Amino acid sequence: MKVLNVKLLLLLMLAASLVFTSCSKDEKDEDPKLTIDASTTPTGSPLRPGAPIRIQFSANKGPDGKNLAEVRVEFASDGGPFSIIAGNTEKDLNVASLQRTLNFTARNISGATGTDAYRITVVDRDGKSASRTLTYNIARDTTQPVDKTPKAYNNVTLNNTQGFFSTQNGQRYNNSEAQANASLVDITFFFSPTSRSNLASAPARNNSSLYGNFAINWGVVGVEYRTTNLTAAQFNNLNDEDNIKPAFDAGSPTQVTGGNTPGSRITEVEAGGMGGQFKAGNVIAFRTGLGNKHGLILINSVAPNETGSASISIKMEK
């Protein structure tokens, strides 16, 4: 009888253990999942003040959990308390999954170093949550007393009459002037009734089969254009030329159908009426053959017609 009681006790203990393990697993599976995307600005290396910070994440409800109800984004500087960023916080959701991309700018710190911390929290409709904190070290360049202010050209007006520009001297040219200064001209503009506002590398426009009436035969200085995720605000706040090349390196060569070499051209309207990259507010990165310099172009406005003008602003390495 004693042996039977001992066996019964052991069986009861095993059953209780299985129930506890099962409950723990079920509870864990109810928690929402939060994943930081690989394209997020890495936290390892110090950033310069004004550097763009991009945070991309996705969240899913737990396999056995409730739908997501809230996304909360908070900020803390230099180890201080977190406070909610109202514009990036969402409530009253009822979704199984979501993806968000957040764009920030590293603070213009008063001292030599500082930290910017962003805490992302997702909460489901049962109040269960998942959270991740990304902390960025901000550091001024105190080792080199060198002016890092980018070379800037603001509100450059381009049209079909004066559609050629030199990032070396900041001069605009008409076609005959540009031809006489071909070794200086790297950015070219034209307005087409089909593709509307265009920027193109000068050598690319030597191809008459692609450019037709807008072709030239004297282009020598090449430019590679790349798309970016930068906003107009991030462009305007960029005050350190060391932040320009990383934006170019992170971008992808622009793509225009019809046989154009990737990175050689951007258009306002693609073939078939599709949207292109020449849009007001877009920021395009480039690398010019004039000294292999990198730069950023903010498109301020597009040309309304063949006789109108577009406006761009440029920040680039000196």
What are the tens digits of pLDDT across the range 1-41?
444 454 555 555 555 554 444 444 444 578 999 999 999 99
Instruction: Name the residue among 210, 187, 168, 132 with its Cα closest to residue 317.
Output: 168
Residues 287 and 173 in one domain: yes
Residues 91 and 179 in one domain: no
Distance from C-alpha of 291 to C-alpha of 303, rounded to nearest angstrom: 30
Helix, strand or coil, per DSSP, at residue 271: helix
Q: Is residue 7 situated within a structural domain?
A: no
Residues 155 and 289 in one domain: yes
Per-residue pLDDT of 279-318, as tens digits, reads: 999 999 999 999 899 999 999 999 999 999 999 999 999 9
Specify the DSSP class assigned to residue 162: S
Q: Is residue 170 situated within a structural domain?
A: yes
- Rg over alpha carbons for the chain, rounded to the nearest Å, is 27
Residues 89 and 163 in one domain: no
Helix, strand or coil, per DSSP, at residue 1: coil
Residues 288 and 174 in one domain: yes
Per-residue pLDDT of 147-192, as tens digits, reads: 899 999 999 999 999 999 999 999 999 999 999 999 999 999 999 9
Beta bridge partners of 158: 310
Per-residue pLDDT of 231-289, as tens digits, reads: 999 999 999 999 999 999 999 999 998 889 999 999 999 865 555 899 999 999 999 99
Q: What's the CA dihedral at 38, 43, 44, 47 to 10 degrees? A: 120
**139, 161, 195 - which closes a domain:** 139
**95, 114, 139 - which closes a domain:** 139
Residues 269 and 156 in one domain: yes
Instruction: Name the residue among 67, 63, 69, 70 with its Cα closest to residue 30.
Output: 63
Instruction: Name the residue among 269, 123, 92 with its Cα closest to residue 196.
Output: 269
**108, 139, 170 - which closes a domain:** 139
Range of the domain at 191: 151-316
Query: What pTM was computed for the model?
Result: 0.58
Residues 49 and 99 in one domain: yes
Residues 80 and 163 in one domain: no
